[in-house]
A = this chain, B = another copy of it.
């Protein structure tokens, strides 16, 4: 049956496993669209424009934000990040779910813009030691960047209570099962299944024909 797409917003401090969970979710259901962020920051080695991010100039970014072409945007460490609106609108029109990997500011802005369609999921690390270990494992980041990320992580965690669902990523396969269950359940919400009225009408015709 056709249904209304949902906007799945996944937030967590850096290193809590959010990106891995997002990738697994899209491998599980390739129909889920990932909202590729636009950013003014420089590409890291290996990052591809239009796949990892849309890398845009500061001027272009600010113009698009001003024209309402960003569903949400924010400045982080002197760079801008945002979610372009057009691909999200197109996906929803086709009944596709859209996955967002955004921070708490992005999540709140999307919720405000799209109220009933937004489902906010926060991923917590089991311990801060584990979070730091995962962050330090990223060879390309300097010690200074790691320190900044740890401070941002603390700030990010302080917003956990603004989310609909909270899961603790102690064990990745278990956390993924939980995330999948949230998606399956949210799709079964009555108000996300507009075709149910027609389906029940068909059942009633069957009663009439007996």
Contact = CB atoms under 8 A, between A and B. Distances in A.
Interface stretch (A55-63, A135-143, A179-187): A179-187
**Copies of chain A in the complex:** 2
Contacts of A154: 204, 207
A15 to B, nearest CB: 13
Given A127-B206, A200-B124, A207-B154, A188 B167 contact: yes
Interface string A140-160: 000000000010001001001
Contacts of A181: 180-182, 184-185, 188
Interface residues of A, number: 39
A196 interface: yes
A43 to B, nearest CB: 30
A199 B128 contact: no
Contacts of A185: 165, 178, 181-182, 184-186
A31 interface: no
A200 B127 contact: no
Nearest to A129: B206
A124 B203 contact: yes
